């Protein structure tokens, strides 16, 4: 008579099978945690990018609403500081087509250290500070043509961000032609 090797239906999983399943679950869980962490960091970076762009666009609007070359405008930050926006040609140093943030002391009324608080009151919690600089140039002057058109270059960078990493954003530069 031959004897068959039949498994007992009551038998459970072996210790090796349980450990192997646990290791697979652990490795896949760590991968998901990494993805969630990266998503959180990228969300913060996008928030910084959006704020920098919004502040630079505010400067463009202020310059555009001011009579270029003859007046100034003002913008108040969440700290209650009123920053004067000079629109006469000149301003912060340029590097190529962008603003040079290595300039230690930009000209008065061509930069601001905008404080962002939540809520936007002097008692709100500080969220960030942004270094915003601008430069105004006359377009067409070198050809000797009379013009009422100006090229405004605005740069915005979160203060305290020294390197471009996964959390911090690079400075943004906006250029706009304004005038009448």
- Report how far Cα 47 is from the mean position of its chain's Cα atoms: 6
pLDDT, tens digit, for every residue of 127-148? 888 899 999 888 876 655 666 7
Torsion angle, alpha carbons of 30, 34, 35, 41, to 10:
160
C-alpha distances out from residue 41 to 38, 46, 64, 125, Å: 5, 9, 35, 20
What is the spatial distance between Cα 165 and Cα 49, in angstroms, rounded to a whole number?
13
pLDDT of residue 177: 87
DSSP string, 53-65: HHHHHHHHHHHHH
Residues with pLDDT less than 70, the chain: 1-12, 67-70, 141-147, 161-168, 180
Kindly report the backbone phi and psi dihedral angles of residue 164, in degrees, each rounded to the nearest multiple of 5, phi listed first: -95, 105
Three-state secondary structure call for residue 76: strand
The structure tokens listed for 93 are 């140093």
Whole-model pTM? 0.70
The structure tokens listed for 1 are 């008579």
What is the spatial distance between Cα 28 and Cα 99, in angstroms, rounded to a whole number?
45
- Report how far Cα 76 is from the mean position of its chain's Cα atoms: 20
pLDDT of residue 165: 47
pLDDT of residue 12: 67
């Amino acid at each position: 008579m031959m004897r068959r090797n039949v498994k007992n239906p009551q038998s459970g999983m072996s210790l090796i099978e349980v450990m192997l399943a646990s290791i697979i679950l652990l490795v896949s869980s760590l991968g998901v945690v990494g993805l969630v962490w990266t998503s959180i960091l990228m969300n913060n970076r996008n928030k910084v990018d959006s704020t920098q762009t919004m502040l630079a666009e505010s400067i463009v609007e202020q310059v555009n609403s001011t009579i270029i070359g003859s007046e100034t405008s003002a913008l108040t930050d969440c700290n209650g500081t009123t920053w004067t926006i000079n629109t006469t040609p000149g301003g912060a140093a340029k590097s190529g087509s962008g603003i040079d943030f290595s300039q230690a002391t930009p000209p008065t009324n061509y930069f601001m250290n905008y404080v962002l608080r939540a809520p936007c009151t002097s008692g709100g919690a500080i969220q960030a500070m942004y270094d915003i600089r601008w430069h105004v140039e006359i377009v067409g002057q070198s050809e000797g043509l009379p013009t009422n058109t100006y090229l405004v270059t605005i740069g915005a960078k979160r203060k305290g961000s020294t390197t471009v990493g996964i959390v911090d954003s690079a400075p943004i530069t906006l250029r706009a032609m304004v005038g009448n």
